[in-house]
Amino acid sequence: MKKSIQTDGVHSGESKDRFNRGVPPVVALTSTFFFKNVEELARHKDGTEPREEYGRYQNPTRATAERKLADLEGADDAILCSSGMYAIAVTLLRILKPGDHLLVLDEMYHRTEDFFTSVLVKFGVEVSVVKSGDLNSLRKAIKENSRLFLFEFPTNPHLYVQDLTQVVALCKEARVKTMVDATLASPVNVLPLQHGVDIVVHSCTKYLAGHNDLLAGVILSRKSIIASVRELHYTIGGVLDAHSSYLLIRGLKTLSLRMAHQNAVGESIASFLSEQSGVKKVFYPSLPGHPNYETAKRLMGGFGGVVAFDLGSAERAKKFVDALTIPYIAPSLGGTESLVIPYSVVVPPSSDEISSGVPRIEPGLVRLSVGLEAKEDLLEDIAKALKTLP
């Protein structure tokens, strides 16, 4: 019987037959696993006795987390990694080869963009940028050697939402795989694999773990793709340790409850900000003025706890952030504590943007990630901070 995300988050991947009968899963703090004799080792090596051998390849705590993540996402299998950035990098390195063409969205996490320009080009991979929400831009960019289209859903920081149905149909027709970074949505708000996407990645650091206390990433797909990526993953060795795997398991048990709160509070804050005269523009998918409002309403079960808004200038953004008393001034998102950054300070304009005079990020953009604090307290804090602005 297919269970809900709420139930799978608590129970999936955890057998009631475990040896110690403890309710939480065991944390297997070991780098290697011993064999009773050489014959047992030989059986394992010839494939007749699958079991744990070495921590870079297998760990039962990590395996529990991987099964839970795969079930939440509706994937055949999952690879748990040391970070979300590693999950993206190892997947691209495995799928792409010299001469291949990668399609990417014009708004992505800046470190992902750095990986395209500083690493992939050295391996002879061609990269083309596609305009967000523009299907014709994607259609025109596809070439004979196009292999993969990588995009975020929604994007960071403007929360643009791509039409998964149309994108997948176009890419399948052109024999181009689709890969979605769904970190800002989480499996609670969207399941890209159900829309035909080939590969999903998450920074588990964010909503999935949910407590601002670990770094992790995950790759989710069908068995053939996961098996291929796992071979390179084991070689490079960016695995997640057992203790972090356990913390991730613990976080997943409350994912649906946390997301319900963060979805509701994020939407309330976005609505409040959209009514304030001192706020130039608010970026949140549930607002009718968002460019992808209709698409988001159709595809998303909730809109997340990230709200981006333009206060008109860098000076106003900095003053507002300093005036807040509840959120921490810190990058990242999706945890129990609210976090806020004046975005242009964290991601300054590139040399191309400076020379053209057209920055992609508004100087006054603020990104707020809602935690688990009370809605009323956050709204009051935001209102007081806005009153400090000229």
Domain that holds residue 303: 255-387
Res. 200: pLDDT tops 90:
yes
346 vs 135, residue with greater confidence: 135
Share of the chain above pLDDT 90, in %: 82
| Residues 6+ away with beta carbon under 8 Å from 33 | 51, 52, 53, 54, 58
Res. 337: pLDDT tops 70:
yes
118 and 196 part of one domain: yes
35 and 172 part of one domain: yes
Dihedral over Cα of 366, 372, 373, 374: its sign: positive
> Which one, of 94, 104, 153, 151, lies nearest residue 126 by Cα?
104
Query: What element of type H or E holds 72?
Result: helix 60-73
pLDDT digits (tens, 9 = 90+) for 15-27: 777 666 778 788 8
| Residues 6+ away with beta carbon under 8 Å from 18 | 25, 26
Burial of residue 60, with CB atoms counted within 10 A of its CB: 0-12 exposed, 13-18 middle, 19 or more buried: middle
Res. 333: pLDDT tops 60:
yes
Task: Provide the pairing of β-strand 199-203 with 328-329.
Answer: unpaired
- Note the pLDDT of residue 8: 79
Rounded average pLDDT over 189-195: 97
181 and 49 part of one domain: yes
Res. 347: pLDDT tops 90:
no
Res. 207: pLDDT tops 80:
yes
| Residues 6+ away with beta carbon under 8 Å from 150 | 88, 92, 102, 103, 104, 105, 108, 112, 179, 180, 181
CATH number at residue 333: 3.90.1150.10
231 and 289 part of one domain: no
Q: Which residues of 206-237 are buried (b: 16+ CB within 10 A; e: fewer)?
A: bbbbbbbebbbbbbbbeeebbeebbeebeeee
Res. 151: pLDDT tops 80:
yes
Rounded average pLDDT over 149-153: 97
pLDDT digits (tens, 9 = 90+) for 92-134: 999 999 999 999 999 999 899 999 988 998 999 999 999 998 9
Domain stops at, among 198, 224, 252:
252
CATH number at residue 146: 3.40.640.10
242 and 291 part of one domain: no
87 and 148 part of one domain: yes
Distance separating alpha carbons of residues 220 and 92, to the nearest angstrom: 13
Q: How confident is the model at residue 356 (pLDDT cuts 50, 70, 90)?
A: low
Q: How confident is the model at residue 358 (pLDDT cuts 50, 70, 90)?
A: low
Res. 232: pLDDT tops 60:
yes
**Total structural domains within the chain:** 2
- Note the pLDDT of residue 19: 62
Task: Provide the pairing of β-strand 339-342 with 281-283.
Answer: unpaired
195 and 243 part of one domain: yes
Q: Rounded mean pLDDT of the chain?
A: 93
Domain stops at, among 222, 252, 282:
252
pLDDT digits (tens, 9 = 90+) for 25-49: 888 888 898 899 999 999 999 989 9
15 and 162 part of one domain: yes
Contact between 340 and 348 (Cβ < 8 Å): no
Whole-structure pTM value: 0.93
76 and 171 part of one domain: yes
206 and 269 part of one domain: no
Rounded average pLDDT over 272-287: 97
Contact between 69 and 78 (Cβ < 8 Å): yes
> Which one, of 359, 324, 363, lies nearest residue 345 by Cα?
363
294 and 160 part of one domain: no
Distance separating alpha carbons of residues 246 and 250, to the nearest angstrom: 6
113 and 132 part of one domain: yes
Domain stops at, among 235, 252, 269:
252
